[in-house]
């Protein structure tokens, strides 16, 4: 079994910088690249991004929904991307946001975290809003195979506050962070635990207002929102404070709009890394 995901991610962040590049093949972006909104266009887009950013970024994060919309052919393109990334030694975060109970959650864990699965990624995003413990099959599968998970905790969409902020000082988001910290006790000897959180880079003062101690989580913090969504590297340092060393900032459109030229994509990636 490989070393735990958190340890491998920490090493990649140290070597390459704390950047994750989202692979988000939106129809408009495919068109801007001169590609058809089809499985073939999706495949070309995905492999081009991997070729360009794989040597530079700590991880890539394909948005699963944008592959699913193309049916089985889209899923096949995602399988090819995950396989090619694995062969190239590039860490992957499947942005699937899965969450369910019982055998259904076990099925999701089997798909994304099992050795030998065609969809196996290094890590997967999860939704805990059926209760954090409902994620147990995925938490245990990740631990058993050296993979990781990122659990939604504090997102920047306006609707998120109606759930995540409930409870004030004992908010839902804080409970999720505490639960992740407890899971990461099994990774106490690693540079980072393998149970991470998703916290938007544009949440501003919400972390302080809700009393979230992200540094105590001892896991990676996936922070989408760098670039096109408005967050700057300075914003991320201010927002995350003491937890900044664990933050994996994510940029998607801010880098992808530089394509389809591989050199231009690499330059955009390098420029993004400079401020982190």
Q: Is the pLDDT of residue 260 over 90?
A: yes
Which residues are CB-neighbours of 181 under 8 A, at least 6 positions away? 216, 217, 218, 219
Catalytic residue among 16, 26, 97, 175: 97
Picking from 9, 2, 1, the residue whose alpha carbon sits closest to that of residue 194 is: 9
Global pTM value:
0.97
Instruction: Indicate the average pLDDT of the chain.
Output: 96
State the CB neighbour count (10 A cutoff) for residue 224. 24
Q: Is the pLDDT of residue 229 over 90?
A: no
CB 193 within 8 A of CB 221: no
pLDDT in tens, 134-192: 999 999 999 999 999 999 999 988 899 999 999 988 999 999 999 999 999 999 999 99
* CA gap 179, 170 in Å, rounded: 13
61 is catalytic: no
Give the CATH architecture of domain 5-274. Answer: Alpha-Beta Barrel (3.20)
DSSP alpha helix (H) spans, 54-198: 65-68, 71-88, 102-113, 136-145, 161-164, 172-183
Band of residue 246 on the pLDDT scale cut at 50, 70, 90: very high
Domain boundaries, the chain: 5-274
Note the pLDDT of residue 228: 66
Which residues are CB-neighbours of 158 under 8 A, at least 6 positions away? none
Distance of alpha carbon 208 from the chain centroid: 23
3-class secondary-structure state, position 116: coil
259, HSE (Cβ side, Cα atoms, 13 Å): 29
């Amino acid at each position: 079994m490989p070393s735990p995901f958190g340890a491998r991610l920490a090493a990649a962040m140290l070597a390459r910088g704390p950047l994750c590049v989202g692979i988000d093949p939106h129809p408009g972006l495919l068109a801007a690249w001169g590609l058809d909104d089809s499985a073939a266009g999706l495949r070309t887009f995905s492999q081009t991004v991997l070729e360009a950013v794989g040597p530079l970024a700590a991880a890539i994060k394909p948005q699963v929904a944008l592959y699913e919309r193309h049916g089985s052919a889209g899923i096949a393109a995602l399988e090819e991307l995950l396989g090619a990334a694995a062969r190239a030694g590039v860490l992957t975060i499947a942005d699937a946001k899965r969450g369910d109970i019982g055998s259904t959650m076990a099925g999701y864990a089997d798909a994304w975290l099992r050795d030998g699965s065609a969809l196996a990624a290094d890590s997967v995003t999860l939704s805990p809003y059926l209760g954090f413990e409902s994620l147990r099959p995925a938490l245990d599968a990740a631990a058993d195979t050296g993979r990781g998970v990122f659990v939604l905790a504090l997102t920047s969409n306006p609707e998120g506050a109606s759930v995540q902020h409930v409870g004030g000082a004992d908010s839902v988001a804080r409970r999720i962070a505490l639960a992740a910290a407890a899971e990461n006790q099994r990774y106490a000897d690693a540079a980072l635990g393998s149970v991470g959180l998703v916290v938007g880079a544009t949440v501003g003062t919400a972390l302080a207002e809700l009393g979230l101690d992200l540094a105590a989580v001892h896991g990676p913090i996936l922070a989408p929102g760098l670039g096109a969504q408005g967050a700057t590297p300075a914003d991320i340092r201010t927002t995350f404070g003491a937890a900044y060393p664990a933050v994996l900032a994510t940029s998607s459109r801010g880098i992808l709009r530089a394509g389809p030229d591989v050199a231009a994509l690499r330059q955009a990636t390098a420029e993004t890394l400079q401020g982190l």
